[in-house]
Amino acid sequence: VNKLSGSQVKTDSYHYFANYISPTASIRERLEHAGIQGLAAFVMLLFWPCVAIWMVWKILSAVFVPTYIDNETSLFCETRFLVAQTTLADAENNGVIHDPTGLMPRQPFGYLFPAWLAFCAKAGLDCEVWSFTIPKDACYGPHFQIAQMDIHGYAIVENQKIMDEFLFEFH
């Protein structure tokens, strides 16, 4: 068994590299070496930005992709948070936003108006609409989160069961 010392291995690797850039190396050897180095540089320049973009995309999509409420087990509101029964018209009147700058759309709940319309469309004739408040530091939701601030909204209640909710204020 031929064992090389550390200095011999280092010298051999330098020798390998030096053979391809030495003036005595053939043109074919120089082109092969330049081609391999060029291909490696091209792959690295192409590969690493793609990996970086993919990682940023994964992080941002995890943060900003909305989650959709599919059933009542994923609702934030619980019957213990219901405050008072109301009507859709009263809730809409209470949701008018007065923006002195004029930047907010002049419709109930401002930018949340399309979500409000979807919420209203789900309310049937035999449904009750209740306002609710999830107080700060209360445990709520399907993942038992702790409320960092008061959460206000409206819930559709049918047969003493919450069917849907509309969250509009966090403070």
Residue 57 confidence (pLDDT): 84
Q: Is the pLDDT of residue 8 over 60?
A: no
* Secondary structure of the chain as H, E, C letters: CCCCCHHHHHHHHHHHHHHHHCCCCCHHHHHHHHHHHHHHHHHHHHHHHHHHHHHHHHHHHHHHCCCCCCCHHHCCCCHHHEEEEECHHHHHHHCCCCCCCCCCCCCCCHHHHHHHHHHHHHCCCCCEEEEEEECCCCEECCCCEECCCCEEEEEEEECCEEEEEEEEEEC
pLDDT per residue over 46-77, tens digit each?
A: 888 888 888 888 887 766 655 544 444 578 88
